A and B are shown apart, each in its own frame.
Chain A
């Protein structure tokens, strides 16, 4: 049975231009995540909270995609931390840990 490879495995490295774009998008993703988290914490209506949660979901997707395209294990590791604290948010965990992880992610890229 043939092995299944991801599209980037063995592919040519990404161009410097694309690398810069992915890094910029990662930062934008973190920024959007931070703003959505801030509004989520302020919202007192469940549907509004849910809407900001969805935005954070989409920002998380951007973080994962850009980290994967950049093939940076440090960013993937950071994303894992963000995802864990984000998951805790649904269980009414303290959003401070998530905010801290996002802050660190911004510094990492």
Chain B
């Protein structure tokens, strides 16, 4: 029995050891073919370029800002919220579209080789039912730390802690209930993110940049009075417990040329139910007002084109639209952005 088992094992070992001793004979024609193939690879490799990317519309990057360098990236979102996904994930048209203009700017600076800092500012202008409102939104400051730097086979990984400050208006809103002046959440929010990115040269002339980001946001409780971003009405006096937010983004950039890049994002956001304690108030009809809401989520796509003048200056424009959701808005946004990286000192 033992001999029966040993025979095939020995045969396998012998076969495996043969290539080391037995070098295959190559004809001049075969070697000529190898040379031609290597020569073709050499010519393709010569055409390779250092890819320039602005980053896709949504998924944050994992590259650290070098010390002594800064970056400014303003965005402009024009959003048409034309419907709403209900709790059964059915899209139901809004009687009047909620149109929103949302300019944002991010300023990022490299502090040390293992830390960078960003400041995010934004504003809103909203229109619905021939009414309008808006103002300064919430502000955020984030600090990024490298987990690992990108190399040939390893992606860049960056850990970011972001603090969102409630600089936007969130309470004492107009009693029409449209909440067009609501531009913030009213709570301090701490967000933890892990961002990854990796450039791949599967095709020498069309490199790709993959990005992946996961974040989790923990908002603090917020005291609200009157009509507020979470609902409410006349006489509202309550404490709101906003739901925690989970976010997963996947981004892909494909270089068409060094300057032109196609980019797309797949964005998923899920927010836990928002609850409250206290008095919810009454509506204009005298009905009890509501505050908060159930679990909501949204899946969206953001295809765009980038144009890069050089490695430090680029622009991108595209669309961002929802495809699936629950208790969330069904929207279509047009987005433009400019990014400029500059030397500070």
Contacts and interface: CB of A to CB of B under 8 A. Distances in A.
A4 B17 CA distance: 11
B268 to A, nearest CB: 30
A59 B40 CA distance: 12
Interface in A35-76: 35-36, 39, 44-48, 50-52, 54-55, 58-59, 61-62, 65-66, 68-69
Interface stretch (A22-30, A79-87, A92-100, A101-109): A22-30
B31 A65 contact: yes
Nearest to A18: B28
Contacts of A29: 35
A4 B28 contact: no
Interface in B114-173: 151-152
B18 A45 contact: no
Contacts of B41: 51, 54-55, 58
A47 B39 CA distance: 18
Interface residues of B, number: 29
B31 A22 contact: yes
A54 to B, nearest CB: 7
A62 B34 contact: yes
Contacts of B34: 58, 61-62, 65
Given A25-B35, A32-B38, A58-B41, A47 B25 contact: no
Contact of A55 (B18, B23, B27, B45): B45
Interface string B1-38: 00000000000000000100111111110011011011
A59 B201 CA distance: 21
Contacts of B152: 46-47, 50
A22 B38 contact: no
Contacts of A36: 42, 45
Contact of B201 (A22, A51, A62): A51
A10 interface: no
A4 B25 contact: no
A7 B25 contact: yes
Contacts of A21: 28, 32
B100 to A, nearest CB: 41
A8 B25 contact: yes
Contact of B35 (A18, A28, A39, A50): A28
A55 B38 contact: yes
B45 A62 contact: no
B42 A25 contact: no
A25 B38 contact: no
Contacts of B21: 4, 6
A69 B39 contact: no
Interface of A: 4, 6-8, 18, 21-22, 25, 28-29, 32, 35-36, 39, 44-48, 50-52, 54-55, 58-59, 61-62, 65-66, 68-69
**Top 3 A-B pairs, shortest CB-CB distance:** A21-B28, A51-B45, A58-B38
